[in-house]
Amino acid sequence: MSSLLTPLTLRRTSFRNRLWVAPMCQYSAVDGIPNDWHHVHLAQFASGGAGLVIAEATAVVPEGRITPEDTGLWTDGQRDAWAPIVAAIRARGAVPGIQLAHAGRKASTWSPFSGRRGSVSAEDGGWTTTAPSAIAFDGFAAPEALDAAGIDAIVDAFAAAAVRAVEAGFEVLEVHAAHGYLLHQFLSPLSNLREDEYGGSLENRARLLLRVVDVVRAAAGDRPVFVRFSATDWADGGWGVEETVAVGSWVAAHGADLLDISSGGLVAHQSITTGPGYQVPLAAEIRRRTGVPVGAVGEITGGQQAEQIVAAGEADAILAAREWLRDPHFGLRAATELGEPTAAPWPPQYERARPRVAG
């Protein structure tokens, strides 16, 4: 069997393959409540052969939403709306996961569907954002710096959201510490100028993330916990691979089971050269130096490409995003490409369309 299609087990959870769906914001919720769009959107990937389907960045508090249309898990009503979506993913053979998030200074922004950019004003339904330091992301409103009580409240919110995620039936909980959102803002010296126990040294800048991992780990029980990192800010003086290796090892010691490696998003002046698999070398180095399982993401668009990454030991799993949007049956297609058409089972309703392999 191919490396990509070999099952993987983390703690109690077994994934039927290593081709997974990365979190993708849909900006389609009302009051943080997922709806029929989210149900169909996520369940189709399970039917399409994914081993894991991770729901979008889901805010732990209302003011942690990227846009007013983001999903949430700060109420029991939101939990109850997620439950049938989770059941639909599981019924189709995939593991359901969710990404728990707080957008920090990048919250309260316009949906990309609105045709507008920048921060949403209070008059239009926006809110004042918070961050480690009162430094605005370019083009956005300035945030307020969090005090100690505010930081404690965010840790409590992650804990409560993690409990609700488990109650809804999610099997994987991912902590979002990437793409310039709140936990990444604390990690990077470009956005964290604090002089207290949450700023300055790497240990201090990582303190909030480690507290969040601790409470999510406690809520998760024997379910896997992932942490998504931006391995580099792609900007001088910012967060980089060395820091990701160090903090990646720390979160593993605190109970994280897999590091989901992406990059960028913290500052507007980042300089990135993209291309097929452009973030895979970051994942490979972090895997090699930490010994912790990693997921790779970024312009991975075919079964053979994904197979080569896993077979070479550069990542333990592939988290694709846009390719699943282009083809919700990417998993079935990849299995056929790799000559393993039975490794990602076709729904019996679709069996008549399954390509036949000669020989």
The whole-number pLDDT of residue 343 equals 72
Give the mean model confidence (pLDDT) for residues 95-119: 96
The whole-number pLDDT of residue 359 equals 45
pLDDT over 80 (residue 161): yes
Q: Classify residue 298: in a domain, yes or no.
A: yes
pLDDT over 60 (residue 205): yes
The whole-number pLDDT of residue 358 equals 52
Q: Classify residue 230: in a domain, yes or no.
A: yes
Q: Classify residue 242: in a domain, yes or no.
A: yes
Q: Classify residue 246: in a domain, yes or no.
A: yes
Residues marked as catalytic: 181
Pick the more confident residue, 358 or 200.
200
Q: Classify residue 358: in a domain, yes or no.
A: no
Domain with 86, as residue range(s), is: 8-353
The tally of domains found in the chain comes to 1
Rounded Cα distance, 324 and 86, in Å: 18
The whole-number pLDDT of residue 153 equals 98
CB 295 within 8 A of CB 23: no
First to last CA, the chain: 16
Rounded Cα distance, 174 and 171, in Å: 10
CATH number at residue 49: 3.20.20.70
The whole-number pLDDT of residue 330 equals 97
Q: Classify residue 359: in a domain, yes or no.
A: no
The whole-number pLDDT of residue 210 equals 98
pLDDT in tens, 264-308: 999 999 999 999 999 999 999 999 999 999 999 999 999 999 999
Q: Classify residue 328: in a domain, yes or no.
A: yes
Q: Classify residue 2: in a domain, yes or no.
A: no
pLDDT band at 263 (very low <50, low <70, confident <90, very high): very high
The whole-number pLDDT of residue 356 equals 74
Q: Could you tell me which of 175, 39, 158 has the C-alpha nearest to residue 98?
A: 175
pLDDT over 90 (residue 354): no
Instruction: Report residue 30 as tokens.
Output: 């009302």
Mean pLDDT of the chain: 96
pLDDT band at 357 (very low <50, low <70, confident <90, very high): low
The whole-number pLDDT of residue 351 equals 87
